[in-house]
Amino acid sequence: MKIFSLLAAIVLLLGCVSSSKKTIEEQKPLKYQENWESLAKHNEEPEWFQDAKLGIYFHWGIYSVPAFGNEWYPRWMHFEGTKEYQHHLETYGHPSEFGYHNFAELFKAEHFNAEEWATLFEKAGARFAGPVAEHHDGYSMWDSEITPWNTKDTGPGRDITGELEKAIKGKGMKFITTFHHAKQLQRYKGKEAEEIANNKDNSRGAFRHSHYPLFDGMPPTVDDKKLNYLYGNIPEDEWNEKVWFGKLKEVIDKYQPDIIWFDSWLDQVPENYRQKFCAYYLNEAEKWGREVVIVRKQNDLPLECSVDDLEKSRKNKLEEKSWMTDETVSTGSWCYTQDLKIKPAADLLHVLIDIVSKNGVLLLNISPKADGTIPADQQEVLLKMGRWLENYGEAIYGTRPWYTFGEGPTKEPEGHFKNHAAFLKIKYSENDVRYTTNNGNVYATILGWPGANKEVLFEAFSKNEWQNAKAIKNVSLLGCNETIDFELSDTGLKVKTPTQSVDDMAIVFKIEF
């Protein structure tokens, strides 16, 4: 009995010590407070992010079921006169009878295999990958306790994000989740909505700060407890706390993403909630012992604590701070559609090379089918890029910008998404060169094959341009065994291409000092 009493006392004592330790840890001041001055202490561009250069994400959800128009189908299907409305009417019936929510049970993802996806991303050369966790439509691609509209409780019956996190991190890649749900809240109840509805205003700008329009008789106007979570009919204060912030917190707690990326309309979320999110995410990352990244798309988070993102566009000059471009594998929709046209691998590779030369990172979108398969043409583009990166990746991964990003006749326009059509038309050629540097070496990447035995002049090495000139020890061509003849003169560095083509998409000269 004495021994038993002694053991019980020891257990009780240890429990008290553990409880006391936990209390002390809970009382320890958090590193980041909910204000921009405190959040600015965060290193928004950690080394691993600057080294990564390429990530892959995907627009995949219940909007992939109709596979028509684009990922904004859930919005445009309600507007009379749009192609989406007409398609919906002819294929599924009137939107008032067959609403967007009815697609949830048709989204089966029956062929989805997270391991196969992660293997493809790895072969493509991605250093981070992950899902659009939630688009504007309010459908969560994870096992959520906040909303019934999620992949576990509807169609797939699976924790899609959880499976992806395990597979992607298992391949040694970082994990990204992107959030577009700032537009999901229904912000137009009341007089303005009544006026729009009464005037039958079907212009595309109607209800512009909410994803779903409030047209009489349509499901977004129905006061139903379950439907409200999809169509955003929740009081704004409650939505900000329990839905917008709540979903972010849930994903952070469940999956510990390395990057959280935001789409537009984040400026519609009150500033104090944006600060609350940043502080929570960064403090959790401190507990994990990891450096994480927050990416914004517009001027809604300070760049002292986030990375700037440009949609379907990019910088036309070298930047001191890291930045990101989100670009898609197709010429049109971000999600899969039946008529999706895929860009050539060379065009996407050139975009990556151009971005990296200017201190940027590419987040490349692909478009899986509703059944969980990635179309063969998209896979081939990724694999072709991956083979190039496997051979010549030392000119990409872990590099930093040189004193100049490049030279050549092709110039990018100014601007952001508004100029995406102009960016889409850009075609680089063998006359365009992009530079990077690593371990004291400079890499000159030509965006095409100039031809055999051709003399190429790198003007960035000219006496007038290259202020910190050094003696060049050697010039080689990655992937080529031939000796490369070179000459440094006042006009630049002259090199001669080999007798046979090394690569049709891009070739890389390595300049050692």
Alpha helices (runs of H) in 324-437, residue ranges in sequence order: 345-357, 376-392, 420-425
> Where exactly are the structural domains of the chain?
36-395, 406-512
Q: What pLDDT, on a 0 to 100 scale, did the predictor assign at position 24? A: 47
Q: What pLDDT, on a 0 to 100 scale, did the predictor assign at position 189? A: 78
Of 96, 97, 70, 98, residue with least CA distance to 84: 70
CA-to-CA distance for 325 and 229, rounded, in angstroms?
31
Query: Is it true that 36-395 and 406-512 share their CATH fold?
Result: no
Decide if 45 contacts 361 (C-beta within 8 A): no
Neighbour-count burial of 51, counting CB atoms closer than 10 A to its CB (0-12 exposed, 13-18 middle, 19+ buried):
middle
Per-residue pLDDT of the chain (513 residues; tens, 9 = 90+): 455 555 555 545 556 555 555 554 456 789 999 999 999 999 999 999 999 999 999 999 999 999 999 999 999 999 999 999 999 999 999 999 999 999 999 999 999 999 999 999 999 999 999 999 999 999 999 999 999 999 999 999 999 999 999 999 999 999 999 999 999 999 987 766 666 655 555 577 889 999 999 998 999 999 999 999 999 999 999 999 999 999 999 999 999 999 999 999 999 999 999 999 999 999 999 999 999 999 999 899 999 999 999 999 999 999 999 999 999 999 999 999 999 999 999 999 999 999 999 999 999 999 999 999 999 999 999 999 999 999 999 999 999 999 999 999 999 998 777 788 899 999 999 999 999 999 999 999 999 999 999 999 999 999 999 988 889 999 999 999 999 999 999 999 999 999 999 999 999 999 999
Q: Are strands 433-438 and 492-496 parallel, antiparallel or unpaired?
A: unpaired
In sign, the C-alpha dihedral spanning 420, 422, 427, 431 is negative
In sign, the C-alpha dihedral spanning 266, 271, 275, 277 is negative
Q: What pLDDT, on a 0 to 100 scale, did the predictor assign at position 4? A: 52
Superfamily (CATH) of domain 36-395: Glycosidases (3.20.20.80)
| Type of residue numbered 345 | A
Q: What pLDDT, on a 0 to 100 scale, did the predictor assign at position 2? A: 53
| CA angle, residues 172, 374, 384, in degrees to nearest 5 | 65
To the question of domain 406-512 being in CATH 2.60.40.1180, the answer is yes
- Cα separations in angstroms, 309 against 252, 261, 302, 404, 484: 21, 9, 12, 21, 39
Give the max Cα distance, the chain. 95
CA-to-CA distance for 50 and 322, rounded, in angstroms?
7
CA-to-CA distance for 118 and 64, rounded, in angstroms?
20
Q: For the whole model, what pTM was predicted?
A: 0.93
CA-to-CA distance for 505 and 502, rounded, in angstroms?
9
Q: Are strands 54-58 and 128-134 parallel, antiparallel or unpaired?
A: parallel
